[in-house]
Amino acid sequence: MQRRVLQFALLVLFVTGSVWAAEDPMIGSWKLNPQKSKLTDEMKISSLGGNKYSFDFGGGDPEVAVADGTDQPGYSGMTIAVIVGGPENWTFVRKKDGKVLVTGVWTLSSNGSTLTDHFTANRPNGGTTSLDYIYERRGGGQGFAGDWVSTTEQVNSVYVMHVKAFEGDGLAFVTPGGGGTRNVKFDGKDYANTGAVVDGLASSARRLNDRTVEISDKANGKVRDTQQVTVSEDGKTLTLTTRIVGSPDPQVMVFDRQ
C-alpha cells in the first residue's frame, strides 16, 4: 500500500533540456493505456505475534501495526489501520491528517494461494483512482502473512498525466493522484515535490537523449526507485519503466498522447 500510495501519489515522470523546452517531445497530456501496461506490485506481510504485523510495500521501510482497526503511526507522518473482517477478509486504510488517502480491501482465496486487492486512492479534487490487483503467494506463509506478487490488475479509472514546461529549462509533471506537481531541472540537484500528500519527496534526473530520461525518486533523502522514461519516435507513446528498491520485478506503464 505504501508502494502504491507512492505509485499513485507518485506515479510521475520528469524530463527536460534547456534548449528543448518549447519543443520537448514529453510535453503534453498522456493517458494510461492499461492494456499495454504491466503494473507489477509486491507486498510482504510478516506476522510478529500478538496480532501484530509488518507491512513492506517496497522501498525498504516496513510499517508495523496491530490488526485491531485503530489508526497507528505509519510512514512519513501518515497513519495506517488494519480492520479484520474475518480470516479471509482484511481492510487496510492509510490516512494523512485524518483524511483517507487509500483503502485496500483484501480477500484471501479459500486455499490461501491468492489474494485479491480492491485498491482505491482518493484524489485531492474529490475523485478516486481504482484498481483491482490479484496477487499470488511467493514461497511460504500462512493466512495474510507472506510474500505477495501481482502481475494481474484491472484499472477502473481514467489516469491522465500532464507534462508542462517549467522555467525554460525544466518540466513540470502534474498527476491526478495526490502526488502534487514535480518541477524538475537537469542540473544534478534534488527538487522537492510540491503539493504532495506524502512528505519529503524529491527527485533528481539526467537526460540520456532527446527522447529518454532517467530519474531517481527519493523519500527523505533515500532512493526509493529509479525510472526510465522514453517517448516513441512518432511522439504518440510514452513508456515509463520503474524499478523499486527491493523488488526484482519492474513496473511498465504505457501512455498514449491525448
> Could you tell me if 169 and 67 lie in one domain?
no
Query: pLDDT at position 20, please?
Result: 37
Dihedral of the alpha carbons of 222, 159, 116, 72, in degrees to the nearest 10? 50
The whole-angstrom distance between residue 130's C-alpha and the CA centroid of its chain comes to: 13
Question: Which domain does 237 fall in, by range?
Answer: 2-38+161-257
Q: Which residue did the predictor score with more confidence, 149 or 13? A: 149
pLDDT bin (cut points 50, 70, 90) of residue 148 is: very high
pLDDT bin (cut points 50, 70, 90) of residue 45 is: very high
> Could you tell me if 88 and 141 lie in one domain?
yes
Q: Which residue did the predictor score with more confidence, 78 or 198? A: 78
DSSP bridge pairs for 95: 79, 100
Would you give the DSSP letter of residue 38? B
Region 154-167: what's the mean pLDDT? 79
Query: pLDDT at position 19, please?
Result: 35
**Alpha-carbon distances of 83 from 3, 44, 57, 105, 132, rounded to whole Å:** 19, 18, 18, 9, 19
For the whole model, what pTM was predicted? 0.67
- Residue 176: pLDDT over 70: no
- Residue 49: pLDDT over 90: yes
Would you give the DSSP letter of residue 34? G
> Could you tell me if 140 and 191 lie in one domain?
no
> Could you tell me if 53 and 138 lie in one domain?
yes
Neighbours of 28 (CB within 10 A): 16
pLDDT bin (cut points 50, 70, 90) of residue 2 is: very low
pLDDT bin (cut points 50, 70, 90) of residue 125 is: low
pLDDT tens per residue across span 5-27: 545 444 433 333 333 344 789 99
Q: Using the structure block, give the residue that is written with the C-alpha cell 534534488.
A: 190
- Residue 66: pLDDT over 90: yes
Query: pLDDT at position 24, please?
Result: 87
Region 185-192: what's the mean pLDDT? 85
pLDDT bin (cut points 50, 70, 90) of residue 109 is: very high
Q: Of 135, 155, 175, which one is at a domain's C-terminal end?
A: 155
What's the CATH number where 235 sits? 2.40.128
> Could you tell me if 19 and 31 lie in one domain?
yes
Query: pLDDT at position 207, please?
Result: 86
pLDDT bin (cut points 50, 70, 90) of residue 59 is: low
- DSSP character string of 99-159: EEEEEEEEEE-TTSSEEEEEEEEE-TTS-EEEEEEEEEEES--STT-EEEEEEEEEE-S--
- Residue 149: pLDDT over 50: yes
Query: pLDDT at position 178, please?
Result: 59
Terminal-to-terminal C-alpha distance of the chain: 29
Q: Are 134 and 118 in contact (CB under 8 A)?
A: no
Contacts of residue 224, Cβ cutoff 8 Å, sequence gap at least 6:
6, 58, 59, 60, 217, 218, 244, 245
Work out the mean pLDDT of the chain and round it to a whole number.
Answer: 83
Q: Of 155, 184, 203, which one is at a domain's C-terminal end?
A: 155
The number of distinct structural domains making up the chain is: 2
Contacts of residue 126, Cβ cutoff 8 Å, sequence gap at least 6:
none
